[in-house]
Amino acid sequence: MARALPVVQDGPALDDAERDRGPCERALDELWPVARARLWTWRYLRETLRLWRRFHLRALTLGSVRIAVPPGQVPDCDACTEVCCAGDDAVVSLRFRDLARLVDAGLQGHVTHERPAPRLGDAERSWARREADASVFGRAFPVLTRDQTGTCTLLSSERTCNAWPRWPLSCARYPYALDLRSRVIFWAKGCRSTTVLPASEAPARVRALVRAVVDGYNERLKDAVLLEVARPELAALGLLRFIELSRLPRA
């Protein structure tokens, strides 16, 4: 039995021309078509149905989202006064691609499952943070380490990211964020350091941020599929050791 799956198809590809992929990330990319081909086969039918029940697996495309960010508005990181790498909402949940990049860069020591207890109550925390923490991925996937002040340990003394350009997808798209229910990309309220680019410069920068939002969501869908049908291969890549499997829903 085989069935073409109109979900989890590749959306806009991550731009390999912008960065060099390391061996772990390349191996992860090679694993994806293998895992996707297993969906709707007899051997993995139970896993596919389980995925179908738990997730809305249709991938996002650039054309399927609406942008509610003011035209040309982007973060002014050079003039940042808040530092988005610190604070209660600065917890960065990692994807398999993020983990592969960190491994390739020798930065896996910045990966942990220890999440600091939030200083804010549920009513004061952003809905996006509450939803992320309660999700399957929030429970089972690791996060970036933070120091005693709540600051990401990848932040250098010069206030630059020691992981860039292999930084996590969540960091690449911030402060653009996705409301999946309405398919709207909006500006996260945690960032107040903004600038509006001239029309000649805005399209490329805005497109990169929107694309990072779309890619980040689609990578989460890939994570769900890989966990169901490709665990041995993930273990062989050394990526499964980062996942707390006991926190995943039982079959």
pLDDT tens, 123-145?
554 545 455 555 667 688 999 99
Q: With respect to residue 246, please indicate whether it lies within any of the assigned structural domains.
A: no
Q: Structure pTM?
A: 0.85
Q: Please indicate, yes or no, if residue 250 is contained in any of the structural domains.
A: no
Which residues, other chains included, contact 124 with Cβ-Cβ below 8 Å and sequence gap of 6+? none
Q: Is 184 within a domain?
A: yes
Strands, E assignment, the chain? 66-67, 73-75, 111-112, 143-144, 176-179, 184-187, 194-196
The DSSP bridge partners found for residue 194 are: 75
- Domain assignment present for residue 247? The answer is no
CA angle 174, 155, 16 (to 5 degrees): 55
Strands 66-67 and 184-187: parallel
CA dihedral sign of residues 229, 230, 232, 235: negative
Residue 1 in domain:
no
Residue 55 in domain: yes
Residue 31 C-alpha from the chain's centroid: 18
| Dihedral over alpha carbons 216, 220, 226, 232 (to 10 degrees) | 80
Across residues 77-100, what is the average pLDDT?
Answer: 85
Q: State residue 30's pLDDT score.
A: 96
Q: Looking at the domain assignment, is residue 12 inside a domain?
A: no
Residue 77 and residue 191 in contact, taking contact as beta carbons nearer than 8 Å: no
- Per-residue pLDDT, 175: 92
Burial of 72 (0-12, 13-18, 19+ CB in 10 A): middle
Number of folded domains that form the chain: 1
Is the pLDDT assigned to residue 242 strictly greater than 80? yes
Q: What is the span of the domain harbouring residue 212?
A: 19-241
Give, as one character, the DSSP assignment of residue 194.
Answer: E
The pLDDT value recorded for residue 127 is 45
In a domain, 9, yes or no: no
